[in-house]
Chain A
Amino acid sequence: MAMLDQIQTIVIVMMENRSFDHVLGHLSMKRFNDRQDVAGLIDPEQNPAYANFLDGQGYQPFELKDGPFLHDLPHSRSMVSTQLGQAGGAFTMSGFVQAYFNATGSKVTDPPSMGFLSPGDVSISNFLAMNYAVCDNWFAPLPTDTQPNRSIAYTGYSLIDDTKARPIPTVGESFIFEWLNTRNISWRVYHCGISFFTLFDRFHDVLGPNFRSFRQFPGDFSSESPSEMPQVIFIEPEYTDSPVHFGWTPNDNHPPTPIGQGEHFLRDIYDLLSKDAAKWNRTLFITTHDEHGGFFDHVPPLPISAALPPGALFSEGFTSTGPRVPALVASPWIAPGTVFKGAMDHTSILQLLSEKFAGTPDYNEEVKRRREAGIQSVSQVLAQALAQPRTDVPRPPADTITSSVELKPATDTRVQTDSQQAFTAAAQKLVEFDRPRALEKYPELAHLPSTPIDAPGK
C-alpha cells in the first residue's frame, strides 16, 4: 500500500487485560459520545441482549468507577470458556458473572466483570478514539490468558494455551526480533520496569542495546532525526505482575491495578510522539490490549481456529478467537472519528510489518492462514487515509486521572498468581544469566527475592 511509504516509524503499545466494551463501549452510549458507528454498548443497563446469569439471576453491564479491584478477574482458558458460554453452537457471552463467582467465591450485586468505564475514567482512550481511529472488531487471538496471546502477537503462533512460570516457547524464526533483524529493520523496546520479552528467554535481546528504559525515550526522541529513529518501536508499561516495582507505578491496566495510570502512560506517549510535526507525520501509533482480562464484551469471538504447531505443549486446539479488546490507531493521516470495522487480531500488526518491510502481509504461514480466514492488516485502517497529513494536533485532556495505586512490596498478596510467578522466575533467570548487566539495565532486580517462590498458582 502506497500510504505505508509515508510511515517511517510504527509505535506499538500492548496493554493488559481489558475488553473493548469495558474501555470503549461507552462510545456508542447516548449519554456519552452517542457514536452509532461504533459497535459499543447500547442502553447497557436495560438491554436484555447483554444479560449474564448466575443461579437464574440476570446481571446487566453497569458503569464502574475506576479504582483498584478487590480481585483479579478470571481469564484462564477454562474460565474464558465459561464466560463465552455456548448454546446451539453459538457463543452467548453470558457467563462473565458465573466465571467471576467461580473464581472468587464472591456474589455481589455489581460484579466487576460487568463493569464499563465512562469517558472520564478513560479520557485518553476516549480522546484517541474521537480524534483518530478506533478498531471495533479487534479480538484477542486466543480465548485464554496473557502468555499465549502475547506469543501470537510476537510470533504468529502459540505453543502454549495457558500462563505458567516457564520460558515461553516459540516456533523457530518466527519471533518478531529475528524477523526484523533478518530484514535489517531497526527496532527498539522502551520499557518501564522489567520487559515482558524476558519471559521469552530472550536475555541477549533484553540486555542488549535495543532495550532502553522508557525514561530514555524523550531524550532519544529529541536527539534523533526522523531518519535516525527506529522503524519499529515497542513501548512497554510497568507490569502489575512484575516481582519488584521500583521507581515505576504499575500502569499496564491489569487488575487489580486501576486504569488511570495506564491512561496517563498513553497520554505521555501520545504527547511525545505528536510534539514534532515532522516526526508525527511519519508515525503510526497503535495501542491495544493483550486480552480481555475477564471483562464482559457483547460481541462473540470470531470462528477462527488456531493451528496446533509442532511442539505445542497442549493438545486441544482453539476454535475461535478470544473476546474483543480495545484497539486504537493514531496518525496525522487518519481523520478524526474514523472507525475501522474489519476483523482484526494481534496478527494484524504482524501483517502490517510484513507489508511494510517485506512487501507481503504474510509474515509467516500462520499469519497467512489467519489472513485467509478473514483477519485484516492494520494497514487497512490507512485505506481511508487523508490525502495530506492533518495540520492540527489535538491536545489530550489535562491530567484527569482519578485513581492511583500504591507501590507494594514483592510479598504482597498477588505473589502466587501464575503470571507473577512467571515474571519472578524470568527475572531470576535474567539475573543468573548476567547479573552485572541485568542490574545495570534493571536496577530494581537488586531487590528481587533469590529464593524460588514455590506457591500454588491460581
Chain B
Amino acid sequence: MIPRINPEKAASNVPDRSLILAALLAAPFLAGCAQIKTFNVAPSTICPGETVKIDWAASGNNASVTLDAVPLLAGMGEVPVEGSRMVNPAESTRFILKVPGALKSAQREWDVQVVPGKSARTWGGIAQCSGQPQSISVSFTVQQQDASSGIHAELVANNYPRPLIVRKDDLEVEIPPKDGTDRFKNVPAMGTWTITSPVLPEETCENALAAVARRLTVNMQMSCAAQKK
C-alpha cells in the first residue's frame, strides 16, 4: 500500500498562504533569525555539591530567551539575552538554551555529568609514531572546563591487546593488555596525560598505527576525591 494520507488533516496543517507571506514580510522587522553566539557550561564533569557556571550570549527575541534544565533545576526559565549563572546540579543534567525567532529559532544543549553518574569515560586522541626506540603515542589535556579539580581517575583501563604506558605528571604506569590500574586514584583527572605503546619488534610504525586504527585511548573510571570535613 502507498502511505495513507488524510487530505483534510494534511490541509488543516498547511497555513493560509497569506499568513505565510505576512510572516515572511514582517519577519525582518520583528526578530527574524535568532542566533546563539555563545553557550558554555563548565565544568562538564563535577562532583556532587560542586557548582557549574553557565555563560550565554544570544540575539533575537530577547523577551523570551529561555534556559532550561533536564531534570528540572530551580532558577531556570526566562533569562536575559546575555548572562551568566551559577547552578548546583545534584545529578547529571542537560542544559538547554532556546532563542525563538519568527523564521529561525536557535537552540543548543550541553550535558553536565555529576559523578558517580555515568562516570566511565574514554579519553585519548589520534596517535603519532616517533622516537627511538619507536613508539606510538598521544597526549591530551583534561581542561578545567571538562572536569572539576575534585574528579580523580579511580581506575584507568587498557582496552588494547598491547601494553600501554600511561603518564600523568610524575606518575608513569605500564598497563598490561586488556587490564587496568588504580595507581592514578589519587591523581586529579584534570591536566595533561600521555598514552604510549611501544612499536613491537615485528611491527613498523605504520603497522602499529593501523593496529590501533590510528588512535589511542584509555577508559577512565572517575570518582570524587574524599570531601574535606
Contact A247/B124 with A51-B215, A449-B20, A455-B33 known, Cβ cut-off 8 Å = no
Q: In the assembled complex, how far is the CB of residue B210 from the closest CB belonging to chain A, in whole angstroms? A: 8
Whether A108 and B94, one on each chain, are in contact in the complex, defined by CB atoms closer than 8 angstroms, is: yes
Answer whether residue B3 sits at the interface, using C-beta atoms and an 8 A cutoff.
yes
State how many angstroms separate the Cβ of B89 from the closest Cβ of chain A: 14
Stretch in B71-79, B102-110, B167-175, B180-188 with 4+ CB within 8 Å of A: B102-110
Interchain CB contact (< 8 A) of B124 among A56, A406, A444, A451: A56
Chain B 97-118 interface 0/1 with A at a Cβ cutoff of 8 Å (1 = within)? 0000111110111110100001
- Residues of A near B140 (CB, < 8 A) are 56
Binds A, one of B8-16, B47-55, B80-88, B148-156: B8-16
Contact B215 A92 (CB under 8 A): yes
B30 at the interface (CB under 8 A from A): no
A217 contacts across to B, CB distance below 8 A? 2
A56 touches B20 (CB 8 A): no
A310 within 8 A of B: no
In the complex, the answer to whether A104 meets B7 with C-beta atoms within 8 Å is no
Among B102, B125, B141, the one with the most A-chain Cβ atoms within 10 Å of its Cβ is: B125
Please measure, in the bound complex, the distance between the C-alpha atom of A50 and the C-alpha atom of B111, giving whole angstroms: 22
Q: A85 interface residue, CB < 8 Å from B? A: yes
Q: How far is the CA of A410 from the CA of B24 in the complex (A)?
A: 10
Task: Determine whether the beta carbon of B21 is less than 8 Å from that of A49.
Answer: no
- Produce 1/0 per residue, A76-108, CB < 8 A to B: 000000000101101010100000000011111
Q: How far is the CB of B216 from chain A (nearest CB, A)?
A: 8
Name the residue among B17, B104, B113, B127 with the largest chain A CB count within 10 angstroms: B104
Return chain B residues, CB-CB under 8 Å to A192. 3
A51 contacts across to B, CB distance below 8 A: 122, 124, 215, 217
Asked if B212 is at the interface (CB within 8 A of a chain A CB), the reply is yes
Query: Which of A141-149, A169-177, A264-272 faces chain B?
Result: A264-272
Q: A53-B125, A56-B124, A416-B103 are in contact. Are A407 and B10 (CB under 8 A)?
A: yes
Shortest B117–chain A CB gap in Å is 10
- Residues on B with C-beta less than 8 A from A55 are 143, 146
Cross-chain contact A246 with B11 (CB below 8 angstroms) = yes
**B200 contacts partner chain A, Cβ-Cβ < 8 Å:** no
Among A28-76, those with CB < 8 Å from B are 46, 48-51, 53, 55-60, 70-71
Is the beta-carbon distance between B126 and A264 smaller than 8 angstroms?
no
**Contact: B126 with A87, CB < 8 Å?**
yes
CA distance A449 to B215 in the complex (A): 50
Q: How far, in angstroms, from A262 to B185 measured CA to CA in the complex?
A: 49
Chain A residues with CB below 8 A from B141, complex form: 56
Residues 4-50 of B contacting A (Cβ, < 8 Å): 5, 7, 10-11, 13-15, 17, 20-21, 23-25, 32-33, 36, 39, 41, 44
The reply to whether the CB of B209 lies closer than 8 angstroms to some CB of chain A is yes
Say how far A64's CB is from chain B's closest CB, in angstroms. 15
Q: Say which size band chain A's interface belongs to.
A: 35 or more
Q: Are B126 and A58 in contact (CB under 8 A)?
A: no
Contacts of B7 in A (CB 8 A): 247
Task: Check B10–A247 contact: CB distance below 8 A.
Answer: yes
Q: List A contacts of B105 (CB < 8 A).
A: 413
| Alpha-carbon gap, A108 to B111, bound state (A) | 5
A58 to B44, CA, bound (A): 14
Identify which of A92, A449, A455 contacts B104 (C-beta below 8 A).
A455
Given A88-B209, A105-B39, A411 and B17 touching (CB < 8 A)? no
A409 and B14 contacting across the interface, CB-CB below 8 Å = yes
The answer to whether A271 touches B44, judged by C-beta atoms less than 8 angstroms apart, is no
A176 CB to nearest B CB, Å: 24
Q: Does B1 contact A (CB under 8 A)?
A: yes
Residue B142, interface by CB 8 Å? yes
Please name all residues of chain A whose beta carbon is closer than 8 Å to the beta carbon of B23 when the two chains form the complex.
Answer: 411
Q: A58-B121, A453-B24 are in contact. List 18 more A-B contacts (CB 8 A).
A: A48-B124, A49-B213, A51-B124, A56-B123, A57-B146, A58-B123, A60-B122, A104-B108, A105-B108, A106-B108, A107-B111, A245-B14, A407-B13, A408-B13, A411-B15, A447-B15, A449-B21, A455-B104
A to B CB contacts below 8 Å, 7 in the list: A57-B121, A60-B122, A92-B126, A109-B92, A247-B11, A411-B103, A449-B20
